[in-house]
Structure 1
Amino acid sequence: MRFLSRRLVMPNDLNYANALFGGRALEWIDEEAAIYAICQLETNFLVTKHIGEISFESPAIQGDVVEFGLETKAVGRTSITVSCLVRNKATKKTICYADDIVFVRVDPDTKKPIPHGKTQEELIRQTEEEIRSLNMNPNPSA
């Protein structure tokens, strides 16, 4: 799982218990996962079709920095399925995990599903090339 972005929990992100509001976390997950899928498939014409199980594990409070880890689970003809782990940047404690987030590529005019032309193997190679181009080592012990 690659941790690609972070957010600061602000006062307007809190619920009545002064913890991160679940709805705000879901909004962030959908946005972060969509950006990830757009970058993977190299198209902006994606829609969220499904978000599977969401598990809230620990609270985030005002001032916490949360980070979003994303990975590709599956690639279909018109779809990509990703998972998103939200964790506290400082403590590494899981805040929530969203599994089976499905995005479908659609035609910009008809809004009907169309093939994206990518395979899981291509996306793995694409990610490896991106990591190399950023001079990032996915295996720090190597």
Structure 2
Amino acid sequence: MRFHTRKWIKPQDLNPNGSLFGGRLLEWIDEEAALYAIIQLENPKTVTKYMSEIDFRSSAREGDIIEIGMDVVKFGRASLTLRCEVRNKMTRESIIVIDKIVMVSLDENGKSKPHGKTEIEYVKDRLKS
């Protein structure tokens, strides 16, 4: 699992119980999945199609630093399936796991568009000439 983004939990991220609001965390995960898929598929018109069961394992509190990790599970014809884990940066305790997030590449008409990708590419490798 590669952890790409860190977030610092602030007062505006908390629910009435004083812990991280699940909706805020899901917003961050969806954005991270979209950015990851857009870069991998080289298509800014990439959207979330599906998220599997969301397993909340622990919580985060104000002042905690969390990190969001993504792994590629599979490349489809027009899709990219990801796995996500969010953990506490300092303790490494898992906060949430989502086994399947399906992102779909779209054409200019909003229809699925084959991307032709079969493996993870790193931007640094695309820049080599």
Indicate the TM-score class for this superposition, using the shorter chain for normalisation: over 0.9
- Counterpart of 1:13 in structure 2 is 13
Q: Please, what is the CA RMSD of the aligned residues?
A: 1.5
Correspondence 1:74-93 to 2 at 5 A: 74-93=74-93
- Normalising by structure 2, we get a TM-score of 0.92
**Per-residue deviation, 1:99:** 1.8
Task: Report the structure, 1 or 2, having the larger helix content.
Answer: 1
- Counterpart of 1:97 in structure 2 is 97
SS at match of 1:117: coil
**Per-residue deviation, 1:130:** 4.0
Question: Which structure exhibits the higher relative contact order, with contacts defined as CA atoms closer than 8 Å and separated by 6 or more residues?
Answer: 2
- Counterpart of 2:32 in structure 1 is 32
Percent of matched pairs sharing the same residue? 49
Q: Deviations over 1:46-85 (max 9, x none)?
A: 0110001110011100011110111100110000000110
- Counterpart of 2:113 in structure 1 is 114
Amino acid at match of 2:117: K
User: Unaligned 5+ residue runs, structure 2?
Assistant: none
Q: Does 1:54 align with 2:54?
A: yes
SS at match of 2:40: helix
Aligned length: 126
User: Unaligned 5+ residue runs, structure 1?
Assistant: 134-142
Aligned partners of 2:47 and 2:69: how far apart in 1? Answer: 20
Q: Deviations over 1:8-28 (max 9, x none)?
A: 111111011100011111111
| Structure 1 residue ranges (4+ consecutive) displaced by more than 3 angstroms after TM superposition | none
SS at match of 1:32: helix
- Normalising by structure 1, we get a TM-score of 0.84
Aligned partners of 2:69 and 2:49: how far apart in 1? Answer: 20
Amino acid at match of 2:51: I
Amino acid at match of 2:40: Q
**Per-residue deviation, 1:42:** 1.5
Amino acid at match of 1:98: I
